[in-house]
Each structure stands twice: as C-alpha cells, then as structure tokens.
Chains A and B, each alone.
Chain A
C-alpha cells in the first residue's frame, strides 16, 4: 500500500515542478519583451490552473499558488530579485491571486471528487445489475443463497457468510440476530468479542436468514451498507419467488395425490364388493335353505365362498403393501434373500389357493443372494402368477423362471394363454388398468408390482410371446453373489 502513494506523490510533485518551471520560464521570456506585470501574473494563474487540473488536488494547487506569488515577487516586482515589494498595490494583487487560485482549486477538486463518486456509483450499479440478472438463471434456495453470498463478497471485498434457518443454533450471535431481527455484532458492547457483524435477512413476512460480514478491516461503511441493503432486497425477491414456486409444486403434487387416492378408493371398493357379494349371498342362501340342498350344491357353494375369501385376503395383502407405497416413498428394507426361498414361497401361496394350473419353476444354477424386501417380492410374484392364472384356462402351463444376467437377477412369469391385448399394453402397469370388464381389477396388482420393483431400482416389463401367451419380466439389481 505504501508504494503507490509514494509514487503518486512523486508524480504529482514532478508535474507541478514541470508546469511551474515552464510558467516561470515563459514569464521571464515575456518579461524580457516588455509585457506588463499584470499579464505576467495572468500566466501564473494559468500555470496554477493547469497544475490543479493535472494533479486533481487542492493541496498542490494551493502550494503552487504560493510558489507563483513568490516567483512573481522575486522576478518582476521592484526591487527585482528580492522578496521585497515596494508598491503596496502588489500586495492586493497577491492576495487576489491566492484567493482566485484557492477558489479555483477548491472547485476543481470538488468536481474531481464528484466525478470519482459518480464513476464509482456507476460501477456499483453495473455490478448490482449484473448480480440481479444473475438470479434469473438460478433455481433452488440453496444456490440462490450461495450466489448472493459470493456476489456480496465480490462487491464489498469482505468475507460474508449467509446462515439459513438450519444453522442458527451453532452461533449465539446469529441466533440473537435471527430472533430479534436486528443488526448486531461488531462494535456493540454486548458482543465485544465478535469480529463480525450480523444482519437479519427479512422477506415481507418471514425471517429468511442471517448475513455475517467479517469486520476485521473495520466497520461497515455507508456505501457497503447500501450494497448490502440492495443485495438483501434482490435476495429476498429471488428467495420468495423460489418458495412460491415450491409451494405451487407441492399443491400440484397434492392434487395429483388426491386424484390417485380417489381412483384407488373407487377401484378398491369395487374390488371388495364383488367377492363380498359372493360370500354374503352364498352364506345367506346356505343358512336359509340348508335343509333343501344336496351335499354337492352345498360343497360347491362353500368352495366359492372360500375362493372369494382367499381372493379378498390377497387383496388386503396388496392394500397393506400399497399403504407403504402411497405415503410418498415406499419404505423397503433390503435384506439378502436366497432366490430359491422366494420362488418356493410364492409358488406355495399360489398352490394353497387350489386351482388347476400347472406351475413349473426353473431356479438359478447357483445359490443366489439378492438384496430385496422378501415379503414384497413374494407379493409381486404372487400377483404376476395370479394374473397369469386369471387370464388362462384351467390346465394351462405357467412357467416361473429366474436367472442372473449382467448384474441383474431376472424373474419371469410366462404363460401360454391369449396374451396381452395391444390396446392396454402401453399402460399395463399404470394404476387400475384391467384386462376386461368382467375380470376383477388386477390393474391394482400390477401397479403395485411396478411400484415395488421401482423401489428396488429394478425394471418391470411385459410382452407377448412368439408362440402365444404373455411374459412378465422384472429385474432386481444384484450386488452380492455368494457361494461357489
């Protein structure tokens, strides 16, 4: 810092010396040719003005004014080559000369200052404008705050930290500032150890956070305060815009959720009512006319009731899983499960329900451990098997296979029935798509399958086989492969 001032002073000194020497030389030349003393004085006035313009300094102007007066005195007033003055009129001239030089240098230096300030202001305005247009390209509260912090640091050249709500508690001064919404810190008696000043950032109705500005260099100046204020207003506008769009997004999601819930409820009540009608009708009929019925009829009615009941039970299982899915994310607990166990359990649950389908399984060659939520994957397999059973005739063959391929465990349920109709193929896994009007809504089951597989970071797809029938396939990412 010392060097530039030193050089600056030297420069100004040089300039002043040069200009003054030239003026003196010029005046001497003119003096030789017999110009009158008043005119020569005017030359000195010009010299002083040039000095002021060149050095832009009041001080140098005044100094040169005095030098000029002495030079004039020395060279041109009687007795010459002394600092004595015979004619009292000259005293008046000197005083007027100095007053004029003084006024001119005051005006000039003031003008210079004004220019300097307006230049600085322009620069700050430019910077602020750049900063404020920068906000347009940023989304997310965190990046907005980060951007604001960086911009302020560049603007005022101090270290700044913006604390948003979460980090209040780490620092008592920050908390005090946030709680009382008042500037505090550096320079106040109760915060005498603080080296930073804290500014609350307020939007129209909410405390956004606290700005911490490093004050090692000294207190905040008025210009800096202005910058901080401007930056705050930009920051709060950007943050409010952000919060507004976030709350809009939440609203939109809520509406979507509500829609889904309504659809789900409609679908569930339909799915519940159908088997319930069967059960209550059958049971009522049995209770009223038991005496008149033959054993065969009774048996078939009871069979229907038990079938409907087991169907209801599966629906309830699905609904239980669905509640875990619907609350935002599906909470799954990944555990390494042996694929054999999962296949066996799924098949056992299907066989338990009776039915005349032939279920064939092919298991992986090695013993595979796959990270999954066992109960949920079993549910997926049960749903897929159930789906195949519903859409094929009795004695059809259903193939359940599992093998590993490219870091994934692949599970396939394949049947030799009629396949999937082209018009429902595209949105098969979306909620509540059903294979036919008379079919009970398996759409729910398939959409649950998709949600479960997605939660496992897997994929589920369906396709029609070349030789007829459909194949449902899902993959689970494989991380652990154990055992020879």
Chain B
C-alpha cells in the first residue's frame, strides 16, 4: 500500500478525472484543485507529497502557483503543459519545478515521472559507488566510464556532464542548469557548447544515437538520463 498524497492542480474535468482514476489504481491518495488559488490553499492545508501542476489555469498563472509554493516548500512539482508552451515550461523548470510532461501524455510515462520525483530524496550515488545500467558502467571513484567493459575516454567536462546526468537520472535537466553546474557560468550562445558536448558523449556511449538508450533529448528544453 502506497501512502503518498498527490495534489493535482488541473482545471480540465476530464483530465482531472483520468488522473484521479490512474492515481487511485496505483494506490496514491489524491486531492484535486480546479484552480490555482484553491490549489495553493489545498497545498497549505493538506501537506501533500507531490504536486501535478497544469500551467494553463483559469485564475492565475501556473508559474505563479509554483512560485508561491516554492516560498514555503521544496515539495516535488511536476508540470503538465501543452505543446507550444516551451518558454513557460523552461521558465517553470528554472524556477524550481522538478519535471514536466507534455499533453497529450501517456499515463505510464506520468506514473514513472511521479515515482522518480518522489524518490528524489533518496541519496544519490556516493563517491565510492559504481553505476551500472545495461552495458554502461561508471566508476565514480576512479572517474572511469566503460561500455561492455571497454573503457571509453571522456574529456573532464564530458565526464562532469555525464556524472551530473546520472546523479539526476529520470529528471529533466535544462540547458541552463547543466551550463551552470558544469561550466559554472551562464552561456551567451543558446547553450551551443552544452549541445555539442552532449552530442559527443552520446556518440561515445550510445549504440544508436537516433534511438538512445541512456540520454534522452528534450528538444528545446534539455536532457534526461533514463531511469533505471
């Protein structure tokens, strides 16, 4: 039995209903708010474990709801957005949302995102650990990367990026976030270096870059390392 509570802030009744049923069948408790203000008040009164937040709300901007929530808490927030809201999506991720999902979405995908977001507090791979997924092996202590036991040479920056992605597996990282974490300063060139470095890493670790096994591109937003 799962005892996690999910607060759904979504104005569309039929999507709300469908989320409700899906959450119920997967043993989550749920609260539905149909607008931003009631969402904030339900969040304050119910102390949920995770929030699903629609960006297009009838009363106030979803981004505003996120900011209000972030004042008091760092509860996991997953954004639900329509396609074409790329800017809002990135803004939400950069203002502290944990993840996003684009309508129309697949419920399996959403549940996976919820699981990842809830697991966020579990400590990540420590310095001593060895990370293994399919044929990819990363030795964090020796800072070495292997594919099928063959060592792959990564440049220090490439290694830093891969480490960052693995430590946040399942979570989407925006170009801005990666730029700041790896390079330590903001970029002036549309994150060109991030993209080029990422393309290089993928060519080194993926068998087929058109059907990547490890690093998923979220076009226009950033990258996500697959969940285990």
Q: CA–CA, A483 to B189, complex, Å?
A: 15
Contact mask A289-324 → B, CB, 8 Å, 1/0?
000000000000000000001100100010010000
In the bound assembly, the distance between CA atoms of A344 and B195 in angstroms comes to 14
B195 engages A361 (CB within 8 Å): no
Interface residues of A in 338-378 (CB under 8 A from B): 338, 340-345, 347-348, 351-352, 361, 363, 367, 369, 374-375, 378
A343 to B209 CA separation, bound complex (whole angstroms): 9
Main secondary structure of the interface of A (DSSP, over half): helix
What is the bound-complex CA distance between A204 and B216, given in angstroms?
66
C-alpha gap A335/B187 in the complex (Å) = 14
On chain B, the residues within 8 Å of A345 by CB distance are 217, 219
Residue numbers in A under 8 Å from B200 (CB-CB): 367, 483
Is residue B104 contacting chain A, with contact meaning CB distance below 8 A?
yes
- The reply to whether B208 and A374 form a contact with Cβ atoms under 8 Å apart is no
B142 interface residue per 8 A CB criterion: no
Known: A309-B104, A335-B190, A336-B190. A363 touches B210 (CB 8 A): yes
Let me know if B203 and A367 touch, CB within 8 A: yes
> Residue on B with the closest CB to A360?
B210
Q: How far is the CA of A309 from the CA of B212 in the complex (A)?
A: 26
Query: Which residues of A sit under 8 angstroms from B199, Cβ to Cβ?
Result: 338, 340-341, 367
- What's the Cα separation between A482 and B192 when bound, in Å? 10
B170-228 residues at the A interface, CB under 8 angstroms: 189-190, 192, 195-196, 198-200, 202-203, 208-212, 216-217, 219-220
Residue of B nearest to A351 (CB): B211
Chain B min CB distance to A250 (Å) = 30
Question: A-facing mask of B14-43, CB < 8 A → 1, else 0?
Answer: 000000000000000000000000000000
Minimum CB distance partner of A482 in chain B: B196
Question: Given the known A-B contacts A338-B199, A367-B199, are A320 and B84 also in contact in the complex, defined by CB atoms under 8 Å?
Answer: yes
Query: In whole angstroms, how far apart are the Cα atoms of A361 and B206 in the complex?
Result: 14
Does residue A219 face the partner (Cβ distance < 8 Å to B)?
no
Give A347's nearest chain B residue, CB to CB: B210
Contact A374 B220 (CB under 8 A): yes
How many chain A residues sit at the interface, stated as a range, is 20 to 34
Q: Are A320 and B83 touching (Cβ within 8 A)?
A: yes
- Give the interface size bracket for B toward A: 20 to 34
Are A361 and B86 in touch, CB under 8 angstroms?
no
Q: When chains A and B are docked, how far (Å) is the Cα of A363 from the Cα of B212?
A: 13
Contact flags (1/0) for A255-279 with B, using CB distance below 8 Å? 0000000000000000000000000
- B65-104 Cβ-contact flags toward A at 8 Å (1 or 0): 0000000000000000001101000000000000000001
The answer, among B84, B104, B192, B219, for a CB contact under 8 Å with A342, is: B219
Distance in Å: Cβ of A371 to nearest Cβ of chain B? 10
Q: Which residue on chain B has the smallest CB distance to residue A342?
A: B219
Q: Which residues of A contact B106 (CB under 8 A)?
A: 352
* Nearest neighbor of A341 in chain B, beta-carbon distance: B217
Kindly list chain A residues whose C-beta atoms are within 8 Å of the C-beta of B212: 344
Give the most central of A341, A348, A400: most B CB within 10 Å.
A341
Q: Considering residues B83, B190, B216, B219, which has the most beta carbons from chain A within 10 angstroms of its beta carbon?
A: B219
Judge whether B196 and A367 touch: CB under 8 Å: yes
Are A338's CB and B219's CB within 8 A?
A: no
Closest to A334 in B: B190
Q: Given the complex of chains A and B, what is the CA–CA distance between A374 and B217 in angstroms?
A: 12
Is the CB–CB distance between A369 and B195 below 8 Å?
Answer: yes
Question: Distance in Å from the Cβ of A237 to the closest Cβ of chain B?
Answer: 50
A276 to chain B, nearest CB (A): 15
Residue from the list B84, B189, B210, B220 in contact with A344, Cβ < 8 A: B210
Q: In the complex, which of the residues B192, B198, B202, B203 contacts A336, with contact meaning CB atoms closer than 8 Å? A: B192
Q: Which residues of A contact B220 (CB under 8 A)?
A: 374-375
Cβ contact within 8 Å between B208 and A361: yes
Question: Known contacts A347-B210, A351-B211, A400-B210; can you find 14 more A-B pairs with CB under 8 A?
Answer: A309-B104, A313-B104, A320-B84, A336-B190, A337-B219, A340-B210, A343-B209, A343-B210, A344-B217, A345-B219, A348-B216, A352-B106, A369-B192, A374-B220
Q: Which residues of A contact B (CB under 8 A)?
A: 309-310, 313, 317, 320, 335-338, 340-345, 347-348, 351-352, 361, 363, 367, 369, 374-375, 378, 400, 482-483
User: Which 10 residue pairs spanning A and B have beta carbons closest together?
Assistant: A361-B210, A341-B217, A338-B199, A367-B199, A338-B195, A345-B219, A340-B209, A344-B210, A347-B210, A335-B190
Chain B positions near chain A (C-beta within 8 angstroms): 83-84, 86, 104, 106, 189-190, 192, 195-196, 198-200, 202-203, 208-212, 216-217, 219-220
